Amino acid sequence: MKTRTMKAAAIAVAAIVAGAVPVIGRTAGASEAAGARQPVPDAALELTAAPAAAATGAAEPANVARENARSLVAPRRREYWIKAVNVRWDVVPNGKDALHGIAIPAEKRILTAVVYRAYTRGWKRRLPNTAAAGDNDGIPGPVIEARVGDEVIVHFKNEDRHYRQKHSMHFHAFTYAPASDGAFIPQVSGRGANVPVGRSFTYRLVAGPQSYGTWPYHDHSSTMHDSIPRGLYGAVVIYRRNEALPDRRFVVAFGEHLGFNTINGRAFVGNVPTFRARTGETVEWNVLAVGELFHTFHPHGHRWISPGGVPIDNQDLGPGSSFRIRWKEDAPGNWLYHCHVESHQMNGMIGLYRVSS
Ligand SMILES: [Cu+2]
């Protein structure tokens, strides 16, 4: 029996910051859900637990303060130890499309996934998926976080023992030399673009002046068209040097798995993360899209100011697009957030946002 943590609400960062001190960013909303190891066709793989119905949003003010204090002092080097691993991933853990009252049988919703996971130095121990250590149990992968000016070193190891495909990590937004691009081009790209099973590669990145924002990272190897629908992607979150952290940080990753339109690898209300906040809090949404489709991000009861100065409540996203928005929460209640492409919404891309006063 193991404790599994839900993949939901917010994310903290599974960084191992210079000198092997596991530190981390900030999380709002991760909560732990006890779950039994469940029988699956391939017993070697772990079945990811269903998201807990209630993401409690347990904040960790001490960690936030420490992180803030360190980050604001000077640029620093952040190191991540990441593996691509296989998990059994249930896209619809509660087994139902609640809007239509339809049961989804296990054979249609369980996927042998390939996901990124963060480890301690030397890939020795998987970092726990707690508020302190980050969202680290599935889709999307752990947040890669930095501030402008930071150097980010990502040690990647391919442990895709199920499909035995080559993989890589390709990071949007960072500044780097071509050797750290992670994108496969026959006879041009280097070792980091197609890392064989059991091998590793270290990507060397810098968060430059134009790197702030939220971005995808993903497999860009020769197998990316297989592995992205199997879960090999995550979010890069880069803040300006002196940017204050929000009270709540949410990551919303639109994608497609097993024919469902998914948010964070899950489909339908009750499976897609339920995000939580309180009035008066600064709420940050980090939204990205991977895969083949265009989506829109539409949270009910809220709006924000676009870069052009115009209020907006529905933001378009193409494949590989991303954005970050914040608002000061002032609207208590139970709200929906969803993709406004109606067929996507009906096929899973819809979740709850609960605001308490
Ligand atoms: Cu959509």
Give dist(CA 129, CA 131) in Å, integer: 7
**What single letter denotes the amino acid at residue 326?**
R
4 and 128 Cβ atoms separated by less than 8 Å: no
311-340 per-residue burial string, b: 16 or more CB within 10 A, e: under 16: eeeebebebebbbbbbbebeeeeebebbbe
Q: State yes or no: pLDDT of 301 exceeds 80.
A: yes
Q: For domain 2-356, give the CATH superfamily.
A: Cupredoxins -  blue copper proteins (2.60.40.420)
Lowest mean pLDDT among 1-15, 161-175, 200-214, 324-338: 1-15
The stretch 11-27 carries a mean pLDDT of 30
- CB–CB of 30/5 below 8 Å? yes
Which tokens in the block code for residue 284? 């940050």
Q: Ligand 1 center to residue 271 CA distance, Å?
A: 16
What average pLDDT does this structure show over 266-286?
96
Q: State in Å: Cα 267 to ligand 1 middle.
A: 12
The residue whose two tokens read 């590989």 is: 320
Mean pLDDT of 226-251: 95
Distance from first CA to last CA of the chain, Å, rounded? 37
Instruction: Give the integer Cα–Cα distance in Å for 29 and 12.
Output: 9
Q: Which residues contact 19 (CB under 8 A, 6 or more apart)?
A: none
Centre of ligand 1 from the C-alpha of residue 164, in Å: 31
| Ranges 28-42, 222-236, 271-285, 331-345: which has the least confidence | 28-42
How many A from CA of 293 to the centre of ligand 1?
7
Q: Looking at residues 87-106, what average pLDDT do you find?
A: 95
pLDDT of residue 2: 36
Distance CA 302, CA 338 (A): 13
Taking residues 331-351, report their average pLDDT. Answer: 97
Question: How close is the Cα of 298 to the center of ligand 1, in Å?
Answer: 10
Domain layout of the chain by residue ranges:
2-356
pLDDT in the model for residue 138: 82
What's the pLDDT band for 28 if we cut at 50, 70, 90? very low
Cα–ligand 1 centroid distance for 326 (angstroms): 21
Query: Ligand 1 centre and the CA of 244: distance in Å?
Result: 31
In DSSP terms, which residues pair with 336 in a beta bridge? 352
If pLDDT is split at 50, 70 and 90, which confidence band does 40 have? very low
Q: What is the pLDDT of residue 113?
A: 97
- In the block, residue with structure tokens 């009906």: 346
For residue 207, what are the CA distances in angstroms to 108, 147, 197? 40, 7, 29
Is pLDDT above 50 for 85? yes
- In this prediction, what percent of the chain has a pLDDT beyond 90? 74
pTM for this predicted structure: 0.82
User: How far does the centroid of ligand 1 lie from the alpha carbon of residue 171, in Å?
Assistant: 23
Cα(225) to ligand 1 centroid in Å equals 19
Q: What is the mean pLDDT of residues 151-163?
A: 98
Six-digit token pair at 175?
């500044």
Half-sphere exposure of 48 toward its Cβ, with a 13 Å CA cutoff? 36
Tell me the mean pLDDT in the region 80-84: 97
Q: Distance (Å, rounded) from C-alpha 351 to C-alpha 120?
A: 32
Share of the chain above pLDDT 70, in %: 78
Given a cut of 60, whether residue 248 has pLDDT beyond it is: yes
How far is the centre of ligand 1, averaged over its atoms, from the C-alpha of 43 (Å)?
Answer: 33
Q: Tell me the pLDDT of the chain averaged across its residues.
A: 83
The rounded distance, in Å, linking the Cα atoms of 126 and 23 is 14
pLDDT value of position 74: 75
pLDDT at 30: 33
> Which SS3 state, helix, strand or coil, does residue 145 take?
strand
Distance from Cα 172 to the centre of ligand 1, integer Å: 21
Q: Are 183 and 220 in contact (CB under 8 A)?
A: yes
pLDDT by residue (tens digit) across 197-220?
999 999 999 999 999 999 999 999
Which pLDDT score, from 0 to 100, does residue 141 have? 94
Between CA 298 and CA 310 the distance in angstroms is 16
Q: Over 80: is that where the pLDDT of 65 sits?
A: no
CB within 8 Å of 262: residues ≥ 6 apart:
91, 139, 254, 255, 256, 272, 348, 349
Residue 130 has what pLDDT? 61
Average pLDDT over residues 165-175: 98
Read off the pLDDT of residues 121-155 as tens digits, 9 standing for 90 and up.
999 999 987 654 456 778 999 999 999 999 999 99
- Cα of 316 to ligand 1 centre, how many Å? 9
Q: What single letter denotes the amino acid at residue 353?
A: Y
